[in-house]
Structure 1
């Protein structure tokens, strides 16, 4: 007597389906936003290695909390907020070594090779000299591509306050660059 056993086809386990969907959402976030997050992290810390660490930690936190992200349109803002907080945590954990500044050699930073490099350096320096309340919204808009509403939400500010700060930041930057150009013009000829 031949007994034929038919094996029932198992339906996909709901947990496996959920994990697969979560993995797809996560990979889409990483692929779409890794470059933007890295640029923002680099701007915050000025170190490629630390920036990559910040981005990795951000994506790790994002994976853990991905189920809390209900609106996919808010993902970029959400991740930028995580990067900013991760950078702040870096300083909470870090114990700074205090050294006597008189004992430290000063490096000559005159190795700029092209005019564009010089202009980029000048622009970065002028942006860094802006007060933090003006610098941060400007960086979020320029590097992150965020709207005034998104910046306001990230920083916990009123949109009008953000727009005013952006306006003032641009004006201060313009004045500083014009002053710098005039000074360079006088010294060159």
Structure 2
């Protein structure tokens, strides 16, 4: 495996076009090969096996949408600071609006927004079908947006004695 590293690096540089990305690709290749060494057939050409792993990783990375990043200089790190006087009011308005949606919708909305859970994780957590999660989220977002924009009047709770 070690003797194939220079050739893997050369191929990775040709594919990636960037030395750092190529080195990462080779490292990922070697890691995957090491963890799956039991899938390599003894007597087969290890170099071909390693190149196929490298190629497949590269194709997977190209298919995966990446984030476009921009290098920041020191001046760009000074971000504007928003006035904090309205933050408390905004939070109070949001809390009030959250109370105006059904508890089932609020649960799903908070799990998505605050806990960054996937729909599948929420469905398992709440013990409901995936479609129910999506429906509750859609309705909750719509109602929350309406309350925050003033289009939907807050619910008035009746006190029963």
TM value normalised by structure 2: 0.40
Which structure has the bigger radius of gyration?
Answer: 2
Q: Which structure: greater helix fraction?
A: 1
TM-score (normalizing by structure 1): 0.35
Relative contact order, higher structure (CA 8 A, sep 6+): 1
